[in-house]
Amino acid sequence: MNTFSRVALAMVGMTGLAAAQPKTEAPKADAKAGAGQDMGPPAELATTAKTAAGTWHCKGQGMDHTMKMVDTTGTMTVKLDINNWWLHGSFESRMGKEPFKFESFSTYNPATRKWTRVMVESGGNWASGESAGMKDNKVDWELTTHSPMMGDGMFRDHEDMSDPKAGVKLSGEFSPDKGKTWTKVYELACKK
C-alpha cells in the first residue's frame, strides 16, 4: 500500500472519540499555570470516554495503492490511557486485502478549548493537529501529516454524528500541496 493510502485511512483515528465529545464551557479558572486549576486530567476526557470507550466496527471505502476506492473494514478500540490524560485509539483494518494499523492519542486543553491529536501508523507516517470539538453534531480535524516517502501534507477529517441511527459517518481528504487541491480518500460508517 502506498503512503498516500495509509495516511488517508489513518485519519479515521477517533471514531468514537469525536462522536462523544461534549459541548464545553469556557474555562472558569485563569489559564496561567497553576492559577486555581485542578492539576488532574480535564473533565472533558472522562465525559467523552463514557460514551467513546469501547469497540467500534467500521465499514466503507478507502483509496488503495492503485488510487482506486476499495471496500474497507476496521475495528477501533478507545480507552482512557496514560493516567487518564489521553484517549487512546487503536485501529486495525483491511483496505481491500491490505492490512493497516494506527495508534492515536487525543487530549483536551481547557485553556484553548481545543482537542489535540497525535497519531502514528504502520507505514511510518505520523500526524498531529487540532479540533475545536463538536458543533451541530459534527467534528472537523485539521492535521499535518508526515511521511518518509511523500513528505509533509495536510489532512481534513470529518466526523458526522447527526443521525444517531447511522452511527458515526467519517470521511477524509488529503492535500499534498498545502491545501491547493484536496482528494477524498475514505468514507466509513462506524457503530459500537
Provide the grid cell at 48.
467523552
What's the whole-number average pLDDT of the chain?
Answer: 83
Per-residue pLDDT, 9: 42
Q: What is the mean pLDDT of residues 97-110?
A: 93
Q: What is the mean pLDDT of residues 160-181?
A: 92
Angle (nearest 5°) at CA 139 between 46 and 21: 15
Q: What is the mean pLDDT of residues 131-148?
A: 92
Question: Among candidates 82, 54, 88, 56, which has minimal Cα distance to 188?
Answer: 56
- Calpha distance 137→128 (Å, rounded): 22
Question: Among candidates 127, 178, 133, which has minimal Cα distance to 159?
Answer: 133
For residue 25, name the pLDDT band (cuts at 50, 70, 90).
very low
For residue 150, name the pLDDT band (cuts at 50, 70, 90).
confident
Per-residue pLDDT, 151: 79
- Calpha distance 92→90 (Å, rounded): 7
Looking at per-residue pLDDT, the higher value among 68 and 35 belongs to 68
Q: What is the mean pLDDT of residues 128-140?
A: 93
DSSP codes of every residue in 114-132: EEEEEEEETTS-EEEEEE-
Residue whose grid cell is 476496521: 74
> Among residues of the chain, what percentage have pLDDT more than 70?
80
The yes-or-no verdict on residue 69 having pLDDT over 90 is yes
| CATH fourth-level superfamily of 3-23+41-191 | Calycin beta-barrel core domain (2.40.128.20)
φ and ψ of 172, to 5 deg: -140, 150
- Report domain extents, the chain: 3-23+41-191
- The dihedral formed by the CA atoms of 157, 162, 165 and 171, expressed in degrees to the nearest 10: -20
Instruction: Say which range, 103-107, 114-118, 149-153, has the weakest mean pLDDT.
Output: 149-153
Per-residue pLDDT, 123: 82
Model-level pTM?
Answer: 0.79
> Among residues of the chain, what percentage have pLDDT more than 90?
59
Per-residue pLDDT, 148: 83
Largest CA distance in the chain: 54
For residue 52, name the pLDDT band (cuts at 50, 70, 90).
confident
